[in-house]
């Protein structure tokens, strides 16, 4: 084997080994934010677009509806005091 071929083989092997380092997943996790709309007295959140769509979906529910879904929501009296 020629020295040029060996050098090329070593370079390709080094590149192949380093590729997974570039493909490492990001450490940031998406955060869910609920925003309160005083007019409708509902909490709204934006759900990211699902596969095959580019449009995010906004979900708005009352405090009781979010509580029924298992989310611990503040009472309306507590919101009025703040």
Residue extents of the structural domains in the chain: 3-81
> Three-state SS for 37?
strand
| Nearest in space to 64 (alpha carbons), one of 39, 37, 35, 43 | 43
Length of the chain (residues) = 82
**Structure confidence by residue, pLDDT tens digits, 39-50:** 988 889 888 888
Note the pTM of the prediction, 2 decimals. Answer: 0.49
**CA–CA separation, 45 vs 73, rounded Å?**
13
**Structure confidence by residue, pLDDT tens digits, 5-40:** 776 776 766 666 766 655 556 556 666 778 888 898
| Nearest in space to 60 (alpha carbons), one of 47, 43, 74 | 43
> Three-state SS for 42?
strand
């Amino acid at each position: 084997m020629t020295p040029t071929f060996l050098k090329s083989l070593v370079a390709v092997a080094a590149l192949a080994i380093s590729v997974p380092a570039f493909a490492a997943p990001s450490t940031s996790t998406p955060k869910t934010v609920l925003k309160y709309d005083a007019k409708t007295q509902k909490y709204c959140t934006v759900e990211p677009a699902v596969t095959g769509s580019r449009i995010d979906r906004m979900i708005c529910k009352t405090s009781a509806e979010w509580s029924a879904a298992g989310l611990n929501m503040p009472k309306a009296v507590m919101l009025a005091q703040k």
